[in-house]
Amino acid sequence: MKKRNIAIIAHVDHGKTTLVDEILKTSGMFRENEDVSQVSMDSNALEKERGITILAKTTALDYNGYRINILDTPGHADFGGEVERIMNMVDGVLLVVDAYEGTMPQTRFVLKKALAAGVKPIVVINKIDKPSARCKQVVDEVLDLFIELGADDSQLDFPVVYASAINGTCSLSDDLGSQTKGFKELLDLIISEIPAPSGEVDKPLQFQPALLDYNEFVGRIGIGRVQNGTIKVGEMVNCIRLDGTEKSFRIQKLFGYYGYSRVEVESAEAGDIVAIAGLPDISVGETICEQGMHLPLPVLHIDEPTLQMTFGANTSPFVGKDGKIVTARKIEERLYRETQKDVSLRVEPYTNESFTVSGRGELHLSILIENMRREGFELEVSKPHVIIKEVDGIKMEPWEDLQIEVPEDAMGTVIEQLGLRGAVMENMTNIEGQVRLNYVIPSRGLIGFTTDFMTMTKGYGIINHTFKEYRPYEKVEIGERKLGVLVSMENGSATAYSIGNLEDRGIMFIEPGTEVYEGMIVGECNRDNDLAVNVVKGKNLTNVRASGSDHTVVLKRPRPITLEYALDYINSDELVEVTPNFIRLRKQILNTEDRKKMDAKKNKAVA
């Protein structure tokens, strides 16, 4: 069967996964009466909840005598390394662009990777059913981006398809009335425009994993394209390691892809995208060859981590009350298991009870934490901080491209805040009352910014950022929270009476009845210093009734604390306690007197 290998790339939320889902549903692979309303490429519970793709997915469909392999890629910058490696497996890309938003930071990032790999692009203008769609301007923006990124003549001559993935329609015209059900036009373009996979069946075997999966029964599974030759189950092969050494092993299992399923196959040949099992520690970029052959492929680049934080066993007084897994040894096992399938993650021991975990960004690490808490773990994590690296004796820190859209009335506050965080404005445009601002900013300037940004824009702002480069480190204090916190000085159950009396001191994070302990953060102070408070004190009861004293206390609603908010919010002397059902903020030093002594020492040192 003839083959075509393509990847779908786009900015976050421009409709990649929905498009793949709809292509599969309209390709004839399901029965007419089959319920396909719940099936989706985003199979992970977190992916469905958040509406984002976290892990790259492989699928395939048959159309007009062709096997079309499709790779659905993540759109978030934190998972950009997967996009880069996937370009090694495909010969073309579908660049999906929102018909209103146009080109965004991740559009630039993923397109740059695709053009550098020399693959053939097809542009899909999605969501053209939106009343605010501006198809012609967006196509012009895409062309400008191609030119800016140095596309060659063949890449500049890209075909354009206009689609509404949510409705399952597309056409070759930007006229909404010309949309037809199904994706025949798009599939026909893939067959006519995307070249067949290079590689020859008669040559010696070459296979290179670009992605990893993990299975407790067979260990690591390497996913990649057979570049040359054929590969069979039970065959003895050679693995050329990244350090040049070789190791022989037997192919235990071979998996192909069709629809939403991974299916076992007996053999695969040049151009096929498959997953192999048999070498428990197979790694991205290694080359699998026939025995006796030494034909290494160029090593694939893996993005270095830019952010790290400390994961440790829970040390709060509430340890073990909620989660089943609380020991440092179990946390260590789980973290190292994650590194088996996530090549961008690094884990190193920090103390006997904690570990330094390095990743590609806050989202990357928060998804790991969220998965662990759902599995029954209790842990405490520190404030994320950027990784400073040394190049030729000079300290270097990561910088990012930042693009935000804000309503005009919030623009001044946002610009002021970004200036305080070391950001440099590069461009400002106005699109129908929304101001689009382009900045470059130190990565540490973005830590904790999202929370402030959403408050400043009343939730109407859009923020996107992607790693740009390393620049010399400037020793300026960026990213610490300016306001202090309200810290419990007692253990017990919070009372409405205490909370009511404290409301003029700041914003509360808890409600009456919440169990608290000494050192737990219960609210935000409206001043820049921390305040030790008693939230468990009850009202003194007397036998005297004064008029008006029995009126009901009406409390303000507490501020909700999510995992991302907590990681953004804390300062370097604070921790987030994570259990299956609770997210708590706490001080590293729980004892009030000990903490006061430590603060006094710090202030003395600063003075």
Residue 32 dihedral angles phi and psi, to the nearest 5°: -60, -35
Cα–chain center distance at 169: 29
* 17 catalytically annotated: yes
The burial class, CB within 10 Å (0-12 / 13-18 / 19+), for 436 is: middle
Taking phi first (over 0 means left), then psi (-120 to 50 degrees means alpha), and beta for anything else, what does residue 24 get?
alpha
Residue of 11, 13, 58, 98 marked active site: 13
Residue of 3, 14, 17, 169 marked active site: 17
Q: What is the DSSP string of 477-500?
A: --S--SS-EEEE-S-EE--HHHHH
Residue of 3, 76, 120, 465 marked active site: 76
Are the CB atoms for 523 and 502 separated by under 8 Å?
A: yes
* 127 catalytically annotated: no
Residue 499 dihedral angles phi and psi, to the nearest 5°: -60, -40
Cα–chain center distance at 528: 32
Location of structure tokens 């003395």: 604
The DSSP letter of residue 325 is: B
Rounded distance between C-alpha atoms, residue 197 and residue 204, angstroms: 16
Rounded distance between C-alpha atoms, residue 241 and residue 282, angstroms: 8
Rg over alpha carbons for the chain, rounded to the nearest Å, is: 27
Residues 6+ apart with CB under 8 A from 189: 122, 159, 161
- The DSSP bridge partners found for residue 237 are 249, 290
Residues 6+ apart with CB under 8 A from 394: 472, 473
Residue of 3, 11, 16, 127 marked active site: 16
The DSSP letter of residue 509 is: S
* 13 catalytically annotated: yes
Task: Dig out the tokens for 219 from the structure.
Answer: 């260990």
Residues in the chain: 607
Q: How far apart are the first and last CA of the chain?
A: 76
Helix or strand holding residue 404 (H, E): strand 394-407
* 528 catalytically annotated: no
By annotation, the residues acting in catalysis are: 13, 16-17, 76
